[in-house]
Amino acid sequence: PAPVLYTATCQALSFCGAVLIWLLAPEWIYKRAPLNSTASFLKVMLIPVGFVLNYGMNNLSLKYTTVTLNQLIRSFSPVVVATTSYFIEGKTQSWAILITLCLLVVGVVMGVGTSPDFEVVGTLICSGSLIGNAISIVMTAFVMGDAKVKLQPIDVMLYTTIPSVVILLPWSLSLGEMETLRWSATLNGTFWTTVWILIGGFLACTYTFIYVLLIKLTSSVYFSVTGGFRTIAAITVSFFIFKQQVSVQSLAGMGIAMSAFIANSYFTLKEKVEAMDKRSQLEVKKPLLGEKQA
């Protein structure tokens, strides 16, 4: 396998998809937002740095720890994202959400600290990936809501995918993944290797657009919480596929963490629905033709 090269290829193809939309879409659908200052450029460049940091350290951690522990540590993501969002975006959370985040912390600490598979190096590396994940998600939300930058999802794809490729390609070359690509082309044929790469690129482009759009429509914290359902599924499936040990305390911690995820998702979604209802009521109260002129 050549995961780094494949990710770089998917990012490059995502850029191509964004360029096609930019060139072909009429302005009333999409108009590119330029980066007119160094500050705006630096804000956007934090997104690919966070993306690569998240991806690289997460994959590296799997060499030292189990899939279950990896996913359980990554379930800590909403806490890291909420903290990062507070310092960067100035966003605060309700008491209900804060309580569920605290319970999540308790569950993760119990699940990781009492696990028979606990390993310090893998845990620290995986924890480092959470920082990259938080930077990438929060900065994506920030640049699409900031008054000075105000980017659209396609803008984010245009500006962040190529920097990710620039960072990933040297890493891929150092791992000797070009030889793996040549071996795959020899084994499966150049045509089918290219076809599978293009399919992966299309799926990556679609996924990137959807997740950036979801961050724009909701929030960085809510997006990180939605990943909890994927985490729960990954933890459950890993027990059936891989031979992994688990203690009673670790199992109890996983149960607390999963319950906190579900409760957090409920309260977050409830707040979003209430906010949408309030906006709808305000729109209804407005005069049909605008404010009456004196």
Per-residue pLDDT of the chain (294 residues; tens, 9 = 90+): 677 788 888 889 889 988 998 998 888 888 888 887 788 888 889 999 998 888 778 777 777 777 777 777 777 777 788 888 888 777 777 888 888 888 877 777 776 666 666 677 778 888 888 888 888 888 888 887 665 667 888 888 899 999 999 988 888 888 788 888 888 888 888 888 888 888 888 888 888 888 788 777 766 766 776 665 566 556 666 666 666 666 677 778 778 877 887 787 788 778 777 777 776 766 655 554 444 444
Q: Report which residue type is found at 115.
A: S
CA dist 24 and 229 (Å) reads: 36
Chain mean position to CA 125: 17
pLDDT for residue 118: 66
pLDDT value for 288 = 45
Give Cβ neighbours of residue 66 (< 8 Å, ≥ 6 apart): 117, 238, 242, 244
Query: If we measure between CA atoms, which residue out of 113, 140, 119 comes closest to residue 46?
Result: 140
Cα gap 13→201, rounded to integer Å: 5
CA angle 152, 149, 86 (to 5 degrees): 95
Q: Whole-angstrom distance between the N-terminal and C-terminal Cα of the chain?
A: 70
**In the prediction, which pLDDT does 19 show?**
92
Measure the CA–CA gap between 234 and 134, rounded to whole angstroms: 20
d(C-alpha 15, C-alpha 156), whole Å:
10
- Which one-letter amino acid corresponds to residue 98? L
How far is Cα 170 from Cα 225, in angstroms, rounded to an integer? Answer: 33
Cα 192 to Cα 249: distance, rounded to the nearest angstrom:
48
> Which pTM was predicted?
0.70
**pLDDT computed for residue 242 by the predictor:** 60
Inter-axis angle of helices 77-88 and 220-241, to 10 degrees? 160
Which pair of structure tokens corresponds to residue 236? Answer: 């459950």
